[in-house]
Structure 1
Amino acid sequence: MDYTYNPNNEMNILARVFNTAVFSNNSAFDITPFDLGEEQMSVEMEDEVVKRLPTAMQTVASVNIFLPITIKIPILKTSPAYKTWLNARMQNPILGECTLKDDAGYQYVIKQVTLDFNVIDLVTSAEFTIKGNFYVNQDLIKIPIKK
C-alpha cells in the first residue's frame, strides 16, 4: 500500500492558532474570534499517535486511529456565547462534531465532543473545556484485512 499524505495529522493541529469553532449539531455553540477577544483556543493531545508495544523479541509500533483531544476555549464574559456555554455546562451536553478553524483557513474535525463541567473563571473571560476524538489516521480504517 502506498503512503498518502494526511493533512489531518497530529503535528498540524498542534502548530495552529485556533480562532473559530463550528458545531454541526447546534450552531448556538459556535465560537468566532469576537467571542475570544485577544485569547486563542488551546489544543492538547491526551495520548500518543504511535505506541511502542513490547513483544518477546522486540517492540512493535501500534498506530492509533484517533487521539483523545482536550480543547480549552476562553470566552469573553461580554460575548453572547458566554451565557449559552455557561447554561449548557450544567447539563453537560454532548455537542457532537466540532470543526476547528485556524487563522490560515485550515479545518480540523473533532468528533464525539462533550462539554466539561469545570469552568475556570478569569477576570474578563471564562475558560470552558471540551473533549473529543481527533481522527489522525483515517486512511487506516479503509485497509482491507487479508484472511
Structure 2
Amino acid sequence: MKTQDEGHMRRAIELARAQHGRTGQNPSVGCVIVGPDGRRISEGATADGGRPHAEEMALGPLQGRGAKGAIAYVTLEPCRERTNGESACSKRLIEAGVSRVVIAVMDKHPKGSGGKAAIEAAGISVETGLCEAEAAALYEDFFASLA
C-alpha cells in the first residue's frame, strides 16, 4: 500500500509542478483521485490564474458522488475556506464521499489551514507528510509571501 500511495502522490506532485508559475497568487496544487479498486479515476491541478483549485478540477469529471469511497492524494492541505466564497476544497472532498485523504504538505495560509481538521471532523481518515520533502519546494515562495 505504501508504494502505491507514493506513486499516486508523486503523480500529484508532477501535476502541480506542471502548473508551477501559472497559478497567479495561488499555489500550484496537484490532486489524484483513486477509486476503491486502487485505480486512478481522476486527477487535476490548480488551473491557470489559480482557479479552479486542484481538488475541484479532479472531482469535476466524477459528477459529485463518483468519488464515493475513493482516496484523494493532494500535494497541499485542502483549503478550509475560499477567499471568493465558493465551497472549500475540504468541503468538496467531504461531500464527494472520499474515504481517505493523503496530504504531502500542510498549508500555512490562514484560510487554507484547517482543511485537515474539517475532513477529520467528518470522520474521514487523513494522513500527512507523504513525499513532503519532494512537494515542499513547490510552496516555499507561496509561504514566504504570507510573512
TM-score, length-scaled by structure 2:
0.28
Which of these two proteins has the greater Rg computed from alpha carbons? 1
TM-score, normalised via structure 1 length: 0.28
Point out which structure has higher relative CO (alpha carbons under 8 A, 6+ apart).
1
More helix per residue = 2
